[in-house]
């Protein structure tokens, strides 16, 4: 930019470019330079853990620098240390500690070694971040989703032509530490290991749209659904659309499941379309566990495990909304079908009507 020879002209030009909301207004170019210098100074003085490439950050924390800065802004008011001591853990450090644990699932002392902090500091920090994230569970996890219901139905329909679907449902087991003797038997699943049985629904973009992480591993999927608030809301007729599930669930007027023994081509085509549509919840589980390896083995109590699952689900949705990188490799969970449940007559009628209209 060519500088004017006239001081009054320069002053006038500067005032036009200045921001009226800044105490010390300067032109845009100077603002950019000041921000760059300030950022560089902060990174040098605080050894900001975000001062690395996105490749480096993603490998360790599953978020880009912009994503981690967003988390810092979101959670700062809830996790910031009140002390101004020079050795107090900063908000970016806290976010990094928690994300490294979620992403790696390693022991706390290993997280501490990696972040150059004590195990006790790591434990307290993870706890603080988990509790802070819980505040946003009803903000980031909503049913049937953040998109209009029509858009969700269209998204599911594009998969295999299955109509009226607003969510795919299933449960997944999250291994946990052995609970106390009084409740240990409740958490033994069919594989004789201790776990939570966590119910989730998702939309066509693998966004988690509902979560119920309070049930022990011995609880059947269909019983969890019957006791859930989501089922109650469907029974009250609050949603315009259907869920899609596997043979674990009873076919109901609002939950479509496969024909147990398809006898005709339309019934077989119905089952194929349903299976392809329902695959979204399997993909959601796979991406979630690949993103946050801690969910493969949570060495904590059932209550703490439930809270960590919720935190990871929120982070998964934030990552999805922000279009963070999806793990390169993830494995779909194996089919683990509970004993079949008797279909409801009204559910069978809706299933037959859909088959006749869309698959005949």
| CA–CA gap between residue 237 and residue 231 (Å, rounded) | 10
Domain boundaries, the chain: 23-134, 138-358
Tell me the two tokens of residue 241.
């659309």
| CA–CA gap between residue 49 and residue 56 (Å, rounded) | 11
| CA–CA gap between residue 182 and residue 41 (Å, rounded) | 55
Instruction: Give the pLDDT confidence score for residue 337 in this predicted structure.
Output: 61
Instruction: Give the pLDDT confidence score for residue 18 in this predicted structure.
Output: 41
Instruction: Give the pLDDT confidence score for residue 249 in this predicted structure.
Output: 95
Query: What is the residue-level pLDDT of the chain in tens, covering all 360 positions?
Result: 444 444 444 444 444 444 333 444 445 444 444 444 444 444 334 457 778 888 989 999 999 999 999 999 999 999 998 876 656 788 998 999 999 999 998 877 677 776 777 788 888 999 999 999 999 999 999 999 999 999 999 999 999 999 999 999 999 999 999 888 889 999 999 989 999 999 999 999 999 999 999 999 999 999 999 999 999 999 999 999 999 999 999 999 999 999 999 999 999 999 999 999 999 999 999 999 999 999 999 989 999 999 999 999 999 999 999 999 998 877 776 656 666 667 898 999 999 999 999 999
| CA–CA gap between residue 97 and residue 93 (Å, rounded) | 6
pLDDT tens digit sequence for 290-327:
999 999 999 899 999 999 999 999 999 999 999 999 98
Tell me the two tokens of residue 4.
């004017």
Instruction: Give the pLDDT confidence score for residue 20 in this predicted structure.
Output: 38
Instruction: Give the pLDDT confidence score for residue 19 in this predicted structure.
Output: 38
pLDDT tens digit sequence for 8-55:
444 444 444 443 334 444 454 444 444 444 444 443 344 577 788 889
Instruction: Give the pLDDT confidence score for residue 84 in this predicted structure.
Output: 61
């Amino acid at each position: 930019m060519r500088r004017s020879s006239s001081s009054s002209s320069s002053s006038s030009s500067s005032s036009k470019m200045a921001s009226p909301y800044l105490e010390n207004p300067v032109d845009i170019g100077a603002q950019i330079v000041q921000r760059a210098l300030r950022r560089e100074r902060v990174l040098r003085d605080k050894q900001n853990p975000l001062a690395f490439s996105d490749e480096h950050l993603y490998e360790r924390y599953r978020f880009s620098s912009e994503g981690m800065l967003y988390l810092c802004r979101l959670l700062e008011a809830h996790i910031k240390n009140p002390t101004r001591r020079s050795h107090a853990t900063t908000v970016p450090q806290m976010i990094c500690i928690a994300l490294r644990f979620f992403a790696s699932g390693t022991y706390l002392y290993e997280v501490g070694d990696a972040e150059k902090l004590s195990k006790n500091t790591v434990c307290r920090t993870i706890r603080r971040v988990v509790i802070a994230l819980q505040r946003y569970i009803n903000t980031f996890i909503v049913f049937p989703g953040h998109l209009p219901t029509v858009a969700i139905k269209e998204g599911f329909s594009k998969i295999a032509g299955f109509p009226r679907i607003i969510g795919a449902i299933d449960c997944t087991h999250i291994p946990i530490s052995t609970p106390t003797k009084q409740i240990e038997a409740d958490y033994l699943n069919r594989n004789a290991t201790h776990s939570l049985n966590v119910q989730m629904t998702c939309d066509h973009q693998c966004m988690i749209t509902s979560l119920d992480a309070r049930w022990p591993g011995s609880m059947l999927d269909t019983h969890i659904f019957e006791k859930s608030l989501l089922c109650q809301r469907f029974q009250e007729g609050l949603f315009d659309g259907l869920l899609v599930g596997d043979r674990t669930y009873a076919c109901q007027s609002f939950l479509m499941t496969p024909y147990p023994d398809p006898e005709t081509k339309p019934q077989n085509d119905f089952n194929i379309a349903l299976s392809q549509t329902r695959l979204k919840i399997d993909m959601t589980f796979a991406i979630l566990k690949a993103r946050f390896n801690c969910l493969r083995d949570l060495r904590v109590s059932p209550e703490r495990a439930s809270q960590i699952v919720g935190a990871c689900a929120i982070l998964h949705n934030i990552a999805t909304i922000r279009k963070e990188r999806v793990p390169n490799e993830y494995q779909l969970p194996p089919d683990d079908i509970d004993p079949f449940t008797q279909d409801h007559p009204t559910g069978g009628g809706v299933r037959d009507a859909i088959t006749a209209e869309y698959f005949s």
